[in-house]
Amino acid sequence: MSLLEVRKINKSFGSNKVLTDVSISFEAGEIHSIVGENGAGKSTLMKIIGGIHSCDSGEILVDGHPVQIHSPIDAFKHGIGIVHQELSIAGNMTVAQNVFVNREPTNKWGFINWTELYEKTNAEFEKIGVKIDPKVPAGSLSVGMQQIVEIVKILSQNVKILIMDEPTSALSDKEVDHLFQLLKKLKAKGTLIIFISHKLKEITYLSDRVSVLRDGRFIGTLDRENMQIPKIINMMVGRNIDQLYPEKGKKGDQKEVFRLEHGSGKGKFTDVSFRLYAGEITGMFGLVGSGRTELAYSIFGADRLDQGTMYLNGEKYEAKSPIKAIEMGIGYLSEDRKNLGLFLDMSVKDNTVVTILQKLCNKLSFLNDQQAADQTKGYIGELQIHPEDCLLSKVKNLSGGNQQKVLLAKWLVSQPKLLIVDEPTRGVDVGAKSMIHFMLRKLADQGMAILMISSELPEIIGLSDKVIVMHEGRCKGVLENVDLTEEEIMTCAFREEEDVI
């Protein structure tokens, strides 16, 4: 008998059918991943199990008994807890308060019993073998630790079914490792873990079984023996993606576009030097906290270099502001598209042309709306942004992958000579990811210099011509990408200071 089973689940939002006759069964003590492209219905299914949405028809069975789940509270009653993609940590409150929010142990006057609260918190963390000070504000922890706090908060409510919605998208590799150890421990204790992720490598590494959804339908479940990435992708997209990454660029004439010499900034990065060439994609690999985003900010003028010199097309360049940088032909696609990249309540058109408002103006600073629309339509076509008639749609109504394409379009429209892309495919489905990769390569072939910051090693290796390895604010090496392996990059990142040069 399965611990959790969904039978013939159907769900529509208005006229939009998101789930059709989905039936899956989940066993105790397994890590069961759900994969599918954006819009395949994964999140909706999880929200139905977690009581956030109710289904139009179908059954949910826990331990073989049909149950009614109409709210997250109902879900908890049946031992189901969700860790959402966006963490719900109150940063100013202590770890203990976060874990026991609304359930703090109190004395008879209703005051919080702090000693007991801290003890209980410690006990909960001990269960999973993590050491943490329950008295520190949760906001002072790393994102990875915050997530563990969130998991403990869920687990402390006697949860036997733990749903994790894209838990690793904001974590560094080390934190991901940590998380996986934890999940395996929980699994050994008999917890069912339902895991949602776009990172297929993680999934094949971690899962006991994988279920694939496509267009709201259940396609199939694979067990460990049959869990090969090409096979999963095939099931997800319904066709073969024969080539995951585009061909590497041809060795050009090595025309230097940008050079940084001995750049240091804000204590986040120290003495970093590198060159970027036209027609090349230079990967910058580094974990979260390696100083890579701060470095990008400094090149783009959103931050200042404390020391060091930059050269653009051979001439000395001072990054005064993003306005200036854009004028000089630099673009920066930010890593956090929702908070730093897009205007979610504005249209695809408005989002796309934001970088070229000046060019769209006549002398009286009247905007040429027709031109804005034409330019945007061009990119909607070229990047295959869906739906095709999204010109005036609010960006928040697009799927994650299409939002990311709009973000890319916003920079392409400004026709930069140097494009810095920071985690260009984070939280994006396989199809859109591949599309973005091919687009970046095409741009490089057209002569653009591209600096691609990423913490995904397969992406770095698959796409870059050269790899700059950053670690703890230092450039540990620049590697030519000729059959480079993940091990070589990691070794480079962690090698000792003396070995460099």
Partner 1 sequence: MKDQKKLITVNGRVITLTLIIIVIFIAMSIIKGELFYARSNIQAIFSNLSYDLLLACGMTFVLILGGIDLSVGSILAFVGVIVTLLLQKGMAVPLAILIGLSSSIVLGAINGGLVAKFNIAPFIATLGTMSILRGICYVLTSGYFIANLPVAYTKIARGSMAGIPNKILISLTIMAVLAVLSTRIRGFKQMYYVGGNAQAAFLSGIPVVKTTLLGYVISGLMAGIAAILMTSTLGMGQAGFGLSFETKAIAAAVIGGANMHGGEGSFLGTALGVILVALVNNVFIMFNGSPNWSVGISGIILLLAAAVDIIRVKSQTRSEARK
Question: Which residues are near partner 1 by CB under 8 A?
Answer: 13-14, 16, 18, 43-44, 47, 52-53, 300, 302, 321-323, 325-327, 332, 334, 339-346, 350, 354-355, 357-358, 360-361, 365-367, 369, 389-394, 396-397, 399, 410
CB of 414 to partner 1, least distance (A): 8
Rounded to the nearest 5 degrees, what angle is found at the Cα of 108, between the Cα atoms of 102 and 114? Answer: 55
Which of 104, 80, 74 lies closest to 154 in space, CA to CA?
80
Residues 149, 88: Cα–Cα separation, whole Å: 10
Work out the number of other CB atoms within 10 angstroms of the CB of residue 497. 8
CB of 22 to partner 1, least distance (A): 14
CB of 18 to partner 1, least distance (A): 6
The token duo for 369 is 């709306």
Quick one: 125 or 300, whose CB is closer to partner 1?
300
Say if strands 4-13 and 16-26 run parallel, antiparallel, or are unpaired. Answer: antiparallel
Residues 322, 310: Cα–Cα separation, whole Å: 15
Residues 301, 285: Cα–Cα separation, whole Å: 21
3-state secondary structure 279-291: CCEEEEECCCCCC
Quick one: 13 or 494, whose CB is closer to partner 1?
13
Quick one: 312 or 461, whose CB is closer to partner 1?
312
Task: Convert 214-244 to b/e letters by CB count within 10 Å (16 or more is b).
Answer: bebebbebbeeeebeeebbbebbbeeeeeeb
Residues 175, 299: Cα–Cα separation, whole Å: 28
Quick one: 381 or 387, whose CB is closer to partner 1?
387
* Widest Cα–Cα separation across the chain: 78
Quick one: 88 or 358, whose CB is closer to partner 1?
358
CB of 36 to partner 1, least distance (A): 14
Residues 156, 292: Cα–Cα separation, whole Å: 36
CB of 368 to partner 1, least distance (A): 9
CB of 373 to partner 1, least distance (A): 13
Quick one: 106 or 358, whose CB is closer to partner 1?
358
CB of 83 to partner 1, least distance (A): 18
Quick one: 277 or 300, whose CB is closer to partner 1?
300
Quick one: 151 or 328, whose CB is closer to partner 1?
328
CB of 254 to partner 1, least distance (A): 30
Which of 45, 413, 27 lies closest to 219 in space, CA to CA?
45
Length reported for the chain: 501
Query: What single-letter DSSP state applies at residue 394?
Result: B
Quick one: 101 or 392, whose CB is closer to partner 1?
392
DSSP for 9-52 reads EEEEETTEEEEEEEEEEE-TT-EEEEE--TTSSHHHHHHHHTTS
CB of 119 to partner 1, least distance (A): 38
